[in-house]
Structure 1
Amino acid sequence: MVRTEGGYTNLVLPAVLAKHGLDGRDAAFATELAAGTIRRQGTYDAVLTACIDRPLRKVESAVLDALRLGVHQLLGMRVPAHAAIDTTVGLVRTKVGIGAAGFANAVLRTVGSRDLDGWLAEVAPDPAEDRNGHLAVVHSHPRWVVDELEIVVGEELPDLLAADNVPPRVTLVARPGRSTREELPGTPTPYSPYGVVLESGDPASVPAVAEGRAGVQDEGSQLVALALASARVEGRDERWLDQCAGPGGKSALLAALAAERGATLVGTEIHHHRARLVARATGGVGAPGVLGVLNADGTRAPFADDSIDRILLDAPCTGLGALRRRPESRWRRTAEDLEDLTLLQRRLLEEAVRVLRPGGALLYATCSPVRSETADVVTAVVSPRPELSLEDVRPLLPGVTDADGPLPDTAQLWPHRHGTDAMFLALVRKDR
């Protein structure tokens, strides 16, 4: 479903596990098998290329999927070689045919002749001659992604790439006024006062989550919503907007915070199915702090000039800061996507500026640290307009250190430093 239907691993897996009644160790095994295979696809494809006498694009897609699953069991999991090969070959025989099963058996026996380190020594470029090419194979990232990340993180690049391959912990958030952190099982998050890290178990089994009073949300995402809610606002503070609200995690937290202050939130989302997710997460119209969820284009927001007090623009992006949770993003995005995305991000930010009232607060965020999606977008919109300025957002992240962004007064969170998604934050002000 991830490859054939464009699904996201972290959203597809829970539904599949529930459908087949898997829990406990079986669910953990299935999760690691699927997510781990997608995460390490680049490394495994390099190994398979060395074992197959034709380009991988000429291998039937169903066979290639099965081979990747088999390679992950052989090189990335503690599965005995005979079991990994037998189950994979059996899968190919059932789904494709006897001939393909023989091919898979031969390939996997070759793969199983060495361990992962042995294969990397053969298939990864020499780091002395091509450092980034070596890192791309070893850490299973497309080369263009490695090059982009090096620009923003420098010598910490190996640490960041390694962190992208560590399965993320499940983090819950208590929605203020509806639940408390104390009623959630787990260890308190270091930065968000509303989060806990769930040590084990199904989040859906937590009563507050099942009832919609709490949710699953990365700590970095929580910090984005909290930064906007904590920003200084001059005068009226009643109308809040989440401009690109889907799937609704930040909207739900913002609505809870707004309700405590007598304010209301409107969420806009261009995609109908994502707008429905926002409505579900927030409780919809009439829920505390929720004025409405609109299926609307954020580049043509249905609001008057200078009418909104607080705006969150968590802009659509490459998602390269969330590769721990969405490993498939690294294989779906291309360098060519950046141009279209950055144009969209600028249009969205310009529209947010239009509806922001003077004295209000506008937080631009992305779950990508790539400079063209962060500093370049903010500079392109803010610099030409004398009524706009950046205010230091870092004081709105109490306890967070070592988070200077690529522009003065901006912030950048990192998986390898903070244990969060790589969220970028910029607080934009509009003078009267």
Structure 2
Amino acid sequence: MNVRPRPGGKRPGPRSGGRPPRPRPKVDQARLAAYDVLRAVAAEDAYANLVLPERLRARGLEGRDAAFATELAAGTLRRQGTYDAVLSACARRPVTRIDPPVLDALRLGAHQLLSMRVPSHAAVGTTVDLVRQEVGHGPAGFVNAVLRRVAEQTLDAWVRAVAPDPGGDPRGFQVVWQSHPRWVVDALAESLGERADELDALLAADNEAPRVTLVARPGLVDREELLAVEGAEPTRWSPLGVTLGSGDPGAIEAVRRGRAAVQDEGSQLVALAALAVPLEGGHDRRWLDTCAGPGGKAALWGAEAARRGAHLLAGERAPHRAALVERAVAAVPAGVVEVVVADATDPPWGRDEFDRVVVDAPCSGLGALRRRPESRWRRTPGDVEALVPLQRALLDRAIDATRPGGLTAYVTCSPVLAETAGVVEQVLAGRNDVELLDADEVAADVLRAVPDHAGPLAGTVQLWPHRHGTDAMFLALLRRRQVVGRPSTG
């Protein structure tokens, strides 16, 4: 039969294309959003908790789809060490020899196969389609073959196959099973001290997705307003805290207006404890937050300063983080908080100037691995070694800025002993004008109900994800003393 070509067209046949090409598979937006996050983390050193909301909005994801994308991205990052060990075995090559965009897709597929209730055919097929769309057709066959091998065993079976023998190398087994670098496992075990038998529970808690926790900033919103949100529950110990069951906190009016905010309960507790300490002599009107970015504690302290008739100076070295502080304190009455760009190791403020000072020092962040799952893969022991001198300098200058009889609160979101007890002990050893207070005595109203919170130094506080369901916040409260002559400093 003769086929008449259309006017201006060509007769169909092998030379003019033959069969039309198959339609390109369309990858669902949730998986694309999760892949976007992994690529941003790997290629741009982005923070997953910051980039994820942007990707969800860009992909138009809400409700169950947003929750699925969140679990895909965060869960994959948390269990990355485990999946890399499995993928190396299935690919028959180290993951360092796999192209990074392909490796991120394989990790997403492994998470669906080993830790989510996604049928094997769907996990494999959608990952292969994602690679074809985002990377190219070349690696699709390799991805298909590797993930089919992953699907042959359960997570438990794979860990038994690829991890060191727990009897001969228990820490090595935990590295694979609990997906933490070896040095982090060792540092956390040391931080637990005599309770090192809790190490498995701590590592497991780092791999659990935390509930979203809000703070009702004092004087700006009543906690009851937040508890009226569907699924909201009061936190166990912070009188200002509320946990959410699901949903976008940004959809809550009080959060949109800055009267409430997302803030971990541990962060709330240490901020409240520092505000509860009675001062000696003088007044209680000049407060300082020396490392204020991104602004959570500054906003809480600022709201309380407005209630007490105090003024808060919030210093932040990085201009972009100072801008975040400005945004965080926007709902605090005008004139109560002043935000300045300043290096707290060489500050523009004077000595003996403030009644209360908080230094939430830059740290390794190993106390917040639930919320920042990529941090465990970025940090190194060298990072801690580099941070400790900075932490000592920040605490020293914060004490200088505190008047005699006033309070300096040293806070880190890390339980690592070098960053907590080590810093405080070294600063105390170099000064004769400061004493370490017993937090249970001076902040009893805040800490009385919190169990097992004793820190590595007598009188300090250490919170834990596995014990308290909070980030691993450390707090030391120090009182500046009056001395005759110039105080000695280290």
Query: TM-score, structure 2 length as denominator?
Result: 0.86
Structure 1 residue aligned with 2:454: 404
Structure 2 residue aligned with 1:91: 130
1:60-99 maps to which residues of 2 (within 5 A)? 60-99=99-138
Structure 2 residue aligned with 1:180: 222
Deviation at 1:289, TM superposition (A): 2.7
Structure 1 residue aligned with 2:4: none
Does 2:409 align with 1:367? no
1:430 maps to which of 452, 466, 480: 480
1:338-353 maps to which residues of 2 (within 5 A)? 338-353=384-399
Q: Distance in 2 between matches of 1:3 and 1:253?
A: 33
Q: Distance in 2 between matches of 1:98 and 1:5?
A: 24
Structure 2 residue aligned with 1:296: 342
Counterpart amino acid of residue 139 in structure 1 = Q
Counterpart amino acid of residue 466 in structure 2 = H
Structure 1 residue aligned with 2:197: 155
Deviation at 1:296, TM superposition (A): 1.1
* Alpha-carbon distance change, 273 to 231 in structure 1, aligned in 2, over 3 angstroms: same
Asked which structure has the greater CA Rg, the reply is 2
Structure 1 residue aligned with 2:56: 17
1:264 maps to which of 293, 308, 311: 311
Which is further off, 365-374 or 9-18? 9-18
Q: 2:259, 2:331 within 8 Å by CA — same for their partners in 1?
A: no
Deviation at 1:387, TM superposition (A): 1.6
Q: Distance in 2 between matches of 1:334 and 1:394?
A: 34
1:376 maps to which of 406, 416, 422: 422
Q: 2:306, 2:333 within 8 Å by CA — same for their partners in 1?
A: no
Q: 2:120, 2:151 within 8 Å by CA — same for their partners in 1?
A: yes
Deviations 1:107-164 (A, max 9, x none): 1011111110110110111111111111111010000000000011111100000000
Query: TM-score, structure 1 length as denominator?
Result: 0.98
Runs of 5+ unmatched residues, structure 1: none
Does 2:319 align with 1:248? no
Deviation at 1:285, TM superposition (A): 8.8
Instruction: Give the secondary structure class of the aligned counterpart of 1:74.
Output: helix
1:34 maps to which of 67, 73, 77: 73
Which is further off, 392-401 or 12-21? 392-401
Deviation at 1:398, TM superposition (A): 3.1
Q: 1:191, 1:398 within 8 Å by CA — same for their partners in 2?
A: no
Q: Percent identity?
A: 60
Q: 1:247, 1:275 within 8 Å by CA — same for their partners in 2?
A: yes
Q: Distance in 2 between matches of 1:78 and 1:157?
A: 28
Deviation at 1:426, TM superposition (A): 0.3
Structure 1 residue aligned with 2:162: 123
Deviation at 1:284, TM superposition (A): 7.9
Q: 2:464, 2:472 within 8 Å by CA — same for their partners in 1?
A: yes
Counterpart amino acid of residue 203 in structure 2 = L
Instruction: Give the secondary structure class of the aligned counterpart of 1:98.
Output: coil
Structure 2 residue aligned with 1:237: 284
Instruction: Give the secondary structure class of the aligned counterpart of 2:314.
Output: strand
Deviation at 1:238, TM superposition (A): 0.9
Structure 1 residue aligned with 2:487: none
Q: Distance in 2 between matches of 1:58 and 1:288?
A: 56
Q: 2:391, 2:419 within 8 Å by CA — same for their partners in 1?
A: yes
Structure 2 residue aligned with 1:418: 468
Deviations 1:38-97 (A, max 9, x none): 010000001011112322112111000100000000001111111111111111112222
Structure 2 residue aligned with 1:59: 98
* Alpha-carbon distance change, 353 to 207 in structure 1, aligned in 2, over 3 angstroms: same
Deviation at 1:384, TM superposition (A): 2.6
Q: 2:220, 2:332 within 8 Å by CA — same for their partners in 1?
A: no
1:106 maps to which of 112, 136, 145: 145
Counterpart amino acid of residue 421 in structure 1 = D
Structure 1 residue ranges, 4+ long, deviating more than 6 angstroms after superposition: none
